[in-house]
Amino acid sequence: MKIVIFGSGLIGRCWALLFARAGNTVQLYDKEPAQLNGALDDIESKLKGLQSSGLLQGQAVADVLKRISTTTDLDGAITGADYLQECVPDIVDLKRNVFAQLDALVEKTGNSKIILASSTSVIPASTFTEPLKHRSRCLVAHPINPPHYIPVVEVVPAPWTSPEVTAETRRILDSIGQAPVVLNCEVEGFLVNRLQFALLMEGYRLVEAGVCSPADIDTTISKGLGLRWSFMGPFQTIDLNAPGGVDDYCKRYNPGVVRVCKDFGETKDPSPETVAAINAAMREEVPFEDLAKRREWRDNRLAALAVHKLQMDQLDKASKQ
């Protein structure tokens, strides 16, 4: 496939890497040539990291890298391309301008079979594609950072997105080794943030109510519930927590689940005191000046976990044969 990445910032570089690793030809577009200069170096460094972890599927870094070219010529990039992934900051007006520009170029180049996917984490495609001629080719494909270690991508069609475009986007993401999940309609926060915020909000409330410390919330997840969740989702989890599977679990335990959830406090912004308490707890663990180093640590942990999961998946596959 011929892929265009629109925007060469952090997430654009990751997308370029993912598509190229899977054998596709990638054009990395930015209107700022200066931005593009550092992008290839950064991608090369990321590829080396993947290779040393065994996540390049035996390919040489140079072979993957040569599939990626940079360009400031959007017109030329779109001509004949199969798929474009937009990666500009999450600002509504910016998305509107970019998609209007893309719509005009699709018309001009006559490439009406291209898919136009936005990386936005929060803005539904209906917000910025409604007036477009080729709006049926537009949708959201939101990755989690860093996507080369966290495979899920949420695919969110607008009401006017063609079902074939949604299905083809899923197929394309599957083909590059990501894990697409497909929403049937637009909802606030999509899936990732709804699930993340459900947990976070109850964390805020428990700390605000004085039930426990912020560190205890983190420990409950990082040394408790999060272990199962790194390879099983919530339904797969409860399916194994009752003798007769999920059906049996729901009969036995859902009255308790409902009772506990009805006991949750109000959904509101945590107070300044609560935020200050969480901040103090976090700064005790990681001083402010070490935050950048800590982000590096997180990415290294995610890389090591990706390797671990790949090994476990291979063992699973082998034991099934």
Residue type at position 110: G
Question: Contacts with its own copies in 28-47 (CB under 8 A)?
Answer: none
Q: How far is the CB of 93 from its own copies (least distance, A)?
A: 17
The binder of its own copies chosen from 9, 23, 76, 270 (CB under 8 A): 270
236 contacts its own copies (rule: CB under 8 A): yes
316 contacts its own copies (rule: CB under 8 A): yes
Number of residues engaging its own copies in binding (CB under 8 A): 104
The binder of its own copies chosen from 75, 194, 252, 273 (CB under 8 A): 194
d(CA 7, CA 29): 6
Question: Contacts with its own copies in 195-224 (CB under 8 A)?
Answer: 195-203, 206, 209-212, 214, 216-224
Cβ proximity to its own copies: between 100 and 302 the closer is 302
d(CA 190, CA 218): 24
The binder of its own copies chosen from 164, 264, 273, 314 (CB under 8 A): 264
Question: Are 161 and 136 in contact, with CB atoms under 8 Å apart?
Answer: yes
Q: Per CB under 8 A, which region of 6-14, 34-42, 96-104, 234-242 contacts its own copies? A: 234-242
Question: Contacts with its own copies in 145-164 (CB under 8 A)?
Answer: 149-152, 154
The binder of its own copies chosen from 45, 57, 101, 254 (CB under 8 A): 254
113 contacts its own copies (rule: CB under 8 A): no
Cβ proximity to its own copies: between 104 and 246 the closer is 246
- Pick from 199, 202, 181: nearest CA to 190: 181
Q: How far is the CB of 288 from its own copies (least distance, A)?
A: 6
257 contacts its own copies (rule: CB under 8 A): yes
269 contacts its own copies (rule: CB under 8 A): yes
Q: Per CB under 8 A, which region of 60-68, 107-115, 130-138, 302-310 contacts its own copies? A: 302-310
Cβ proximity to its own copies: between 40 and 305 the closer is 305
